[in-house]
Amino acid sequence: MMGNKTRKSIQAFWKGDFTETEAKNLLDKLERQQPDLQEQLKTEFTEEGDRQKLLSPERSDELLQAIRNRTGIQTPVRQLSPYRWIGVAAVFLTFFMFGFYYMLDHTEEALPEKRYTAEASYRTYAVTSQHDSLRYVLDDGSAVVLSPYSAIRYDRGYAIQNRKIHLVGEGKFTVKRDTTLPFEVTTNGFSTTALGTEFIVDGRNIGKTTVHLLSGKVVIRSTKTAGMYIQDTYLAAGEMFNIDEKLKTAVRNPMIKPKVAAQSNRFRQGVADSDTHLQKNLRFERSNLVYVLHQIATKFNTAIVMDTAVPRNLTFTGEFSADDDLQTILHTICLVNDLQHDWGYGDEIVIRLKPIELQQELDTNEIE
């Protein structure tokens, strides 16, 4: 059997621990002992069912030359007989088999696992507060007010290479004008593109998307991921665009004429409304907020109080369907004007300014 010293020398060679002189000495030793090594190979490998065929002289020449190149030995000029080549092949086979098994046993030690951690290419901000809405200022100066359970995601090239945002839920966007980088919000497969404007995108309901333009102009398009195709639709200030993928409809609600605002701080229904009136949509075009709240209080027979700190020159543009509940309507109105609504004394609702601390970017959590 092959001595332990020879085995260890072969292992050291494959580990690269040998000097050039030591490698040459090892090769000379293996060549001198090739008859004995050949017999030992038959005993150690063929008895285990792994009988290896001897290499052809041509292949032996190639493999031996590879070993000589590694050890720095020049190719001899003399010609070897076929029997001599068989001996060399046996030596190489011994060399190779021990090296092969050694590498199998030590691969994990010799080649430690490499781990590659790619830098996150997107930034995600999600509302984690129980407050009505939270405000975040983007790198280009644009701002977004996120509703509860809503989030935005954009890549790290935002404000440099693009201004593309993916929205989940609902958000109000106040866009910093930049003619070279259009501002684009995508939700439910539909994109809303603007240069400098203010609008609300609502994609909270599956299969339904609403865009409410407050000022400026936007264009709405369907993307490859949209559930239905729509023609490019341009909105003017005050218009709303409703997409219903289940019904396969896309409806634009035009602007309506402004209504005269009624001035009052407290509103309560004084007379009973007819069933016909209750079924009508509420539509406002740059209407004074005092008047808007009065109409809502009348419709729902609920007292709505505007706090004295709320400016009386605020306006609202939009439309609510007959099926919208009171909380949905008040939420939208407060979202547009950076307000909040709470229950006051009794059954009255109080409209207040949103606390300053709720308008800072710390109100959103970044998810890397």
Q: What is the 3-state secondary structure (H, E, C) of 189-201?
A: CEEEEECCCEEEE
212 and 327 together in one domain: no
Residue 112 has what pLDDT?
Answer: 47
Kindly state the DSSP code that residue 113 receives in the 8-state scheme: P
Stretch 114-119: mean pLDDT:
45
Residue 362 has what pLDDT?
Answer: 39
Long-range contact pairs involving 237-240 (C-beta distance under 8 Å, separation at least 24): 237/213, 237/317, 238/213, 238/214, 238/285, 238/286, 238/317, 238/318, 239/213, 240/210, 240/211, 240/212, 240/213, 240/318, 240/319
Residue 27 has what pLDDT?
Answer: 72
Stretch 339-352: mean pLDDT:
86
More confident residue, 40 or 216: 216
Residue 89 has what pLDDT?
Answer: 58
Residue 165 contacts residue 154 (beta carbons within 8 Å): yes
Stretch 311-332: mean pLDDT:
83
Contacts of residue 137, defined as CB under 8 A and 6 or more positions apart, other chains included, come to 143, 361
Stretch 331-360: mean pLDDT:
79
Choose the weakest-confidence range: 75-79, 209-213, 243-247: 75-79
pLDDT at 147 over 80: yes
pLDDT at 59 over 70: no
Residue 286 resides in a domain: yes
Q: Which domain holds residue 139?
A: 122-256
62 and 139 together in one domain: no
100 and 128 together in one domain: no
179 and 79 together in one domain: no
98 and 167 together in one domain: no
65 and 84 together in one domain: yes
Q: For residues 223-259, b (16+ Cβ closer than 10 Å) or e, as one string?
A: eeebbbebeebebebbbbbbbbbeeeebeebebeeee
Residue 283 has what pLDDT?
Answer: 81
Residue 367 resides in a domain: no
Alpha-carbon gap, residue 51 to 28, rounded angstroms: 26
Q: Which of 6-15, 220-229, 253-262, 344-353 has the highest mean pLDDT?
A: 220-229
105 and 152 together in one domain: no
223 φ/ψ angles, rounded to the nearest 5 degrees: -105, 180
Residue 361 resides in a domain: no
Residue 181 has what pLDDT?
Answer: 92
Pairing of β 170-174 and β 143-146: antiparallel
Residue 362 resides in a domain: no
Question: What's the number of CA atoms in the CB half-sphere (13 Å) around residue 308?
Answer: 0
pLDDT at 115 over 90: no
**Could you say which of 110, 135, 167 is where a domain stops?**
110
Long-range contact pairs involving 192-195 (C-beta distance under 8 Å, separation at least 24): 192/218, 192/219, 192/220, 193/218, 193/219, 193/220, 193/221, 194/218, 194/219
Residue 228 resides in a domain: yes
Residue 50 has what pLDDT?
Answer: 47
150 and 29 together in one domain: no
pLDDT-derived band at 214 (thresholds 50, 70, 90) equals confident
Choose the weakest-confidence range: 4-18, 110-124, 155-169: 110-124
CATH code of the domain covering residue 291: 3.55.50.30
As for how many domains the chain has, the answer is: 3
pLDDT-derived band at 155 (thresholds 50, 70, 90) equals very high
251 and 131 together in one domain: yes
pLDDT-derived band at 201 (thresholds 50, 70, 90) equals very high
